[in-house]
Structure 1
Amino acid sequence: MSGHSTYTPNSGIEKWIDARMPLPRMMYDSFVSYPVPRNLNYAYTFGGILMVMLIVQILSGVVLAMHYAAETGVAFSSVEKIMRDVNSGWLLRYMHANGASFFFIAVYLHMARGLYYGSYKAPRELLWILGVLILFLMMATAFMGYVLPWGQMSFWGATVITGFFTAIPVIGEWLQTFLLGGFAVDNPTLNRFFSLHYLLPFIITGVVILHVWALHVVGQTNPTGIEVKSNTDTLAFTPYATVKDGLAMVVFLLVFCYFLFYMPNYLGHPDNYIPANPLVTPSHIVPEWYFLPFYAILRAITFNVGPIDSKLGGVIAMFASIAILFVVPWLDTSRVRSAAYRPWYKLFFWLFVADCIFLGWLGSRPAEGWYVVASQLATLFYFGFFVVIMPLLGLLETPRPLPNSITEAVLKKNDDAVAAQPAE
Structure 2
Amino acid sequence: MSFPWAKQYTPTNGFMRFMDEKLPLPRLVYNAVGAGYPVPRNLNYMWNFGVLAGFCLVLQIVTGVVLAMHYAANAQVAFATTEHIMRDVNWGWLMRYMHANGASFFFIVIYLHIFRGFFYSSYKAPREMIWILGVVIFLLLMATAFLGYVLPWGQMSFWGAKVITGLFGAIPLVGEPIQVWLLGGFAPDNAALNRFFSLHFLLPFVTAGVVILHIWALHIPGSSNPTGVEIKSESDTVPFHPYYTAKDGFGLGVFLILLSIMVFFLPNYLGHPDNYIEANPLSTPALIVPEWYFWPFYAILRAFTMDFFFIPAKLMGVLAMFSAILIWFILPWLDRSPVRSGHYRPLFRKFFWFGLIPAMLVLFICGGAPPYEPYVMLSQAATAYYFLHFLVILPIVSKIETPQPMPYSITEAVLGSDKKAVLGENASPAV
TM-score (norm 2): 0.95
CA distance in 2 between counterparts of 1:186 and 1:197 reads 16
Moved more, 405-414 or 68-77: 405-414
What does residue 142 of structure 1 align with? 145
CA distance in 2 between counterparts of 1:23 and 1:262 reads 41
What does residue 238 of structure 2 align with? 235
After the TM superposition, which residues 282-297 of structure 1 pair with which residues of structure 2 at under 5 Å, given as runs? Answer: 282-297=285-300
What does residue 2 of structure 1 align with? 2
- Deviation of 1:413 after TM superposition, in Å, equals 9.6
- Deviation of 1:389 after TM superposition, in Å, equals 1.1
Amino acid at match of 2:307: N
What does residue 326 of structure 1 align with? 329
CA distance in 2 between counterparts of 1:113 and 1:369 reads 32
After the TM superposition, which residues 155-174 of structure 1 pair with which residues of structure 2 at under 5 Å, given as runs? Answer: 155-174=158-177
What does residue 359 of structure 2 align with? 355
Tell me if the contact between 2:86 and 2:96 (Cα under 8 Å) persists in the aligned partners.
Answer: yes
User: 2:56 aligned with 1:64, yes or no?
Assistant: no
CA distance in 2 between counterparts of 1:66 and 1:125 reads 40
What does residue 85 of structure 2 align with? 82
Residues 316-337 of structure 1: CA deviation (Å, up to 9, x unaligned): 0000001001111111111100
Q: How many residues align?
A: 414
Residue 238 of structure 2: SS of its match in structure 1?
Answer: strand
What does residue 22 of structure 1 align with? 24
Structure 1 unmatched runs, 5+? 415-424
What does residue 346 of structure 1 align with? 349
Residue 292 of structure 1: SS of its match in structure 2?
Answer: helix
- Deviation of 1:370 after TM superposition, in Å, equals 2.0
Amino acid at match of 2:2: S
CA distance in 2 between counterparts of 1:50 and 1:30 reads 17
- Deviation of 1:171 after TM superposition, in Å, equals 1.1
User: 2:274 aligned with 1:254, yes or no?
Assistant: no
CA distance in 2 between counterparts of 1:13 and 1:335 reads 49
What does residue 12 of structure 1 align with? 14
- Deviation of 1:16 after TM superposition, in Å, equals 1.2
What does residue 49 of structure 1 align with? 52
Structure 2 unmatched runs, 5+? 419-431
User: 2:47 aligned with 1:40, yes or no?
Assistant: no
RMSD (CA atoms): 1.1
Residue 218 of structure 1: SS of its match in structure 2?
Answer: coil
CA distance in 1 between counterparts of 2:309 and 2:27 reads 60
CA distance in 2 between counterparts of 1:122 and 1:80 reads 50
User: 2:226 aligned with 1:223, yes or no?
Assistant: yes
CA distance in 2 between counterparts of 1:11 and 1:335 reads 48
Identity over the aligned pairs, expressed in percent?
A: 60
TM-score (norm 1): 0.96
CA distance in 2 between counterparts of 1:53 and 1:346 reads 30
User: 2:360 aligned with 1:371, yes or no?
Assistant: no
CA distance in 2 between counterparts of 1:407 and 1:219 reads 16
Amino acid at match of 2:215: V
Task: Spell out structure 1 runs of 4+ moving beyond 2 A.
Answer: 1-5
After the TM superposition, which residues 286-325 of structure 1 pair with which residues of structure 2 at under 5 Å, given as runs? Answer: 286-325=289-328
What does residue 421 of structure 1 align with? none
CA distance in 1 between counterparts of 2:281 and 2:2 reads 56
Tell me if the contact between 2:229 and 2:410 (Cα under 8 Å) persists in the aligned partners.
Answer: yes
What does residue 398 of structure 2 align with? 394
CA distance in 2 between counterparts of 1:369 and 1:22 reads 61
Residues 122-158 of structure 1: CA deviation (Å, up to 9, x unaligned): 0100100000000000000000000000000000011
Amino acid at match of 1:3: F
- Deviation of 1:307 after TM superposition, in Å, equals 1.9
- Per the alignment, do residues 413 and 101 of structure 1 end up closer, same or farther by CA in structure 2, a change over 3 Å counting? farther
CA distance in 2 between counterparts of 1:222 and 1:369 reads 43
CA distance in 1 between counterparts of 2:61 and 2:417 reads 41
Residues 350-390 of structure 1: CA deviation (Å, up to 9, x unaligned): 23122111101001111122211111100001111100111
- Deviation of 1:164 after TM superposition, in Å, equals 1.1
Amino acid at match of 2:297: F
Tell me if the contact between 2:362 and 2:378 (Cα under 8 Å) persists in the aligned partners.
Answer: no
Amino acid at match of 2:3: G
- Deviation of 1:256 after TM superposition, in Å, equals 0.8
CA distance in 2 between counterparts of 1:319 and 1:309 reads 16
